[in-house]
Amino acid sequence: MNGITAYQDNAVTTQNKGRLIVILYDGAIKFLRLAIREIENNNYEAKGRYINKAIDIINEQRIQLISATESPKLW
């Protein structure tokens, strides 16, 4: 793992939950903006990759939010 990756991993893992939500949605917005740029450049393969990355972030966030609000099952 290089220094940049270690820094990024540490920056994410040490954030509180509210800040982490903002970081994840910022990442999704960044990828959607990149997808728009690729649409304008008629690069549909790259557009698809960026949209898929944004969807992955949003889906993971949704799963985390749902699991945080569910009560634990006792069976």
pLDDT digits (tens, 9 = 90+) for 18-31: 888 889 999 999 99
26 within a domain of the structure (yes/no): yes
Do 59 and 44 contact (CB within 8 A), yes or no?
Answer: no
pLDDT of residue 71: 61
Look up tokens 């690069």; give the residue.
43
Task: Report, as an integer, the average pLDDT of 51-61.
Answer: 95
So what's the pLDDT on residue 74?
A: 52
Residue 75 lies in a domain: no
Burial class (CB in 10 A: 0-12, 13-18, 19+), 57: buried
- The whole domain housing 41 covers 16-69
- State mean pLDDT over 62-67: 83
Query: Is residue 3 situated within a structural domain?
Result: no
Contacts of 49 (CB under 8 A, 6+ apart): none
2 lies in some domain: no
